[in-house]
């Protein structure tokens, strides 16, 4: 991609609205812009990262047998009355009337819609289990939206719902999804913890949060070492605390960003909304449910919070907006610029995700913009091009080496 055609409105100064580092960098780097309190546009750099996050989530969920669908944001009031949440959800639920004065809400979550969909079809234990997810825009009218993408009013979520004939099957799927979540957050390059959580307005019997540790977090987290999981998955320890001898875990407080939340819902929604099936013994039962969320747009911020040094950004390769950033310090038409363009073209033919800074800007501007973009490999075409040499900077280990253009190893960039 040519940088001149990418819309990256970088800022020299940090807007006052930003209080935390990742939010400052997202604004300064031209990743996001606020349209109204808690409502953002994801500009091309950010949206490329978000799409990579989404695809990692898809891969891991599809691998364990989940199917993707897309439900509407507009949800009719009657479903929420049926589940009993219309009156209890409060002001965080954005409500509106259509032209015929029928009441709707903008979904903060989709238990009502998915339960309505599934109850029509699931009439037998033979059609269970089922695991359905979507990646979708959600709405929550926060009283005081803040910290950029941390606490927004319109945000992107992945929500998965599973359906089971018995609690053993729910437990098995819960662990499968929990492991998939670990794979996802590992691939995203995150340092995170799994902690016991409050089920809040969603309801249900058991729930855990995936929390990315950092200073800006809002949650006070409680560490748990649940032995039922310990056999399957490494349980993370807070650096300041170790599990107590009884194996029940030690309680610690720390700050963190909640990026995932998994719930054993049980039959809360299927009881209220009559989602029932006939079991093997012909008895009628409520479908047992699980639900599992990931905050996709919030992850953009959480990853950045762990991948910056206050002034510079270094995205993990798995989500970086591009793999390679070619910067030419020569004006158009010079040998330096021609060589840079030639390498760019060659990389395009090899399907390398490469960004070429073709803008007519000073070197200082190009470098400071590049530092905010955090693309893993940077290749700088400068004075040594007449000796056939360029600078290769690898952000992950902060090394710069002179390399001959013909010696550049493309396999690193695929």
- Rule CB under 8 A: choose which of 15, 17, 41, 342 binds a copy of itself: 41
| Window 69 to 108, contacts with a copy of itself (CB under 8 A) | 69-76, 79, 91-92, 94-96, 98-99, 102, 104, 106
Using rule CB under 8 A, residue 138 touches a copy of itself: no
Residue partners of 393: CB distance under 8 A and separation at least 6: 377, 378, 379, 380, 399, 400
The minimum distance between CB 120 and a copy of itself, in angstroms, equals 7
Window of 20-28, 127-135, 266-274, 397-405 that interacts with a copy of itself by CB under 8 A: 127-135
Using rule CB under 8 A, residue 35 touches a copy of itself: yes
Nearer Cβ to a copy of itself (142/391): 142
C-beta of residue 92 within 8 angstroms of C-beta of residue 141: yes
The minimum distance between CB 249 and a copy of itself, in angstroms, equals 34
Using rule CB under 8 A, residue 362 touches a copy of itself: no
Using rule CB under 8 A, residue 116 touches a copy of itself: yes
Residue partners of 132: CB distance under 8 A and separation at least 6: 66, 67, 68, 69, 114, 118, 160, 161, 162, 163
The minimum distance between CB 105 and a copy of itself, in angstroms, equals 10
Per-residue H/E/C for 290-330: EEEEEEHHHHHHHHHHCCECCCCECCCCCCCCCCEEEEECC
- Rule CB under 8 A: choose which of 234, 281, 360, 386 binds a copy of itself: 360
Using rule CB under 8 A, residue 132 touches a copy of itself: yes
The minimum distance between CB 337 and a copy of itself, in angstroms, equals 17
Using rule CB under 8 A, residue 355 touches a copy of itself: no
The minimum distance between CB 45 and a copy of itself, in angstroms, equals 9
Question: CA-based angle 131:134:139, to the nearest 5?
Answer: 130
C-beta of residue 391 within 8 angstroms of C-beta of residue 400: yes
- Rule CB under 8 A: choose which of 20, 25, 49, 113 binds a copy of itself: 113
Using rule CB under 8 A, residue 369 touches a copy of itself: no
- Rule CB under 8 A: choose which of 101, 143, 246, 409 binds a copy of itself: 143
Q: Which pair of tokens denotes residue 176?
A: 């499968």
Q: In whole angstroms, what is the distance from residue 378 CA to residue 354 CA?
A: 10
Nearer Cβ to a copy of itself (230/365): 365
Nearer Cβ to a copy of itself (26/254): 26
Residue 130 dihedral angles phi and psi, to the nearest 5° = -145, 140
Q: In whole angstroms, what is the distance from residue 139 CA to residue 359 CA?
A: 38
C-beta of residue 226 within 8 angstroms of C-beta of residue 196: yes
The string over 96-132, giving b where at least 16 C-beta atoms fall within 10 Å of a residue's C-beta and e elsewhere, is eeeeeeeebbbbbbbbbbbbbbbbeebeebeebbbbb
Residue numbers at the binding site for a copy of itself (CB under 8 A): 1-2, 4-7, 9, 33, 35-36, 39-44, 46-48, 50, 62, 65-76, 79, 91-92, 94-96, 98-99, 102, 104, 106, 113, 116-118, 120-121, 126-127, 129-132, 137, 139, 141, 143, 153-154, 360
């Amino acid at each position: 991609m040519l940088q001149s055609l990418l819309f990256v409105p970088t800022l020299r100064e940090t807007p006052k609205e930003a209080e935390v580092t990742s939010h400052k960098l997202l604004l300064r780097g031209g990743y996001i812009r606020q349209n109204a309190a808690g409502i953002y546009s994801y500009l091309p750099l950010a949206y490329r990262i978000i799409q990579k996050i989404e695809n990692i989530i898809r891969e891991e969920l599809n691998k364990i047998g989940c199917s993707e669908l897309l439900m509407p944001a507009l949800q009719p009031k009657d479903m929420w009355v049926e589940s009993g949440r219309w009156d209890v959800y409060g002001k965080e639920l954005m409500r509106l009337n259509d032209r015929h004065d029928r009441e709707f809400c903008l979904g903060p979550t989709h238990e009502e819609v998915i339960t309505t969909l599934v109850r029509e079809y699931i009439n037998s234990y033979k059609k269970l289990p089922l695991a359905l997810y979507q990646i979708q825009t959600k709405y929550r009218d926060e009283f005081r939206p803040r910290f950029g993408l941390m606490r927004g009013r319109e945000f992107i979520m992945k929500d998965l719902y599973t359906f089971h004939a018995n609690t053993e099957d729910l437990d098995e799927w819960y662990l499968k999804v929990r492991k998939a979540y670990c794979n996802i957050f590992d691939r995203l390059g995150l340092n995170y913890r799994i902690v016991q959580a409050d089920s809040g307005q969603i309801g249900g019997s058991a729930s855990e949060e995936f929390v990315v540790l950092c200073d800006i977090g809002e949650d006070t987290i409680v560490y748990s070492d649940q032995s039922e999981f310990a056999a399957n998955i490494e349980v993370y320890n807070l650096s300041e605390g170790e599990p107590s001898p009884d194996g029940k875990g030690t309680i610690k407080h720390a700050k963190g960003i909640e990026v995932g939340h998994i719930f054993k819902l049980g039959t809360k929604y299927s009881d209220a909304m009559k989602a029932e099936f006939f079991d093997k013994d012909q008895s009628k039962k409520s479908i047992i449910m699980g639900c599992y969320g990931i905050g996709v747009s919030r992850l953009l911020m959480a990853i950045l919070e762990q991948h910056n040094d206050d002034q510079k950004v270094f995205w993990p390769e798995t989500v970086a907006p591009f793999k390679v950033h070619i910067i030419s310090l020569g004006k158009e038409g010079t040998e330096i610029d021609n060589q840079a363009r030639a390498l760019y073209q060659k990389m395009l033919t090899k399907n390398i995700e490469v960004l070429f800074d073709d803008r007519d800007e000073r070197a200082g501007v190009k470098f400071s913009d590049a530092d905010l973009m955090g693309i893993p490999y940077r290749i700088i075409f400068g004075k040594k091009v007449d000796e056939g040499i360029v600078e290769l900077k690898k952000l992950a280990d902060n090394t710069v080496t002179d390399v001959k253009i013909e010696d550049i190893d493309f396999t690193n960039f695929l």
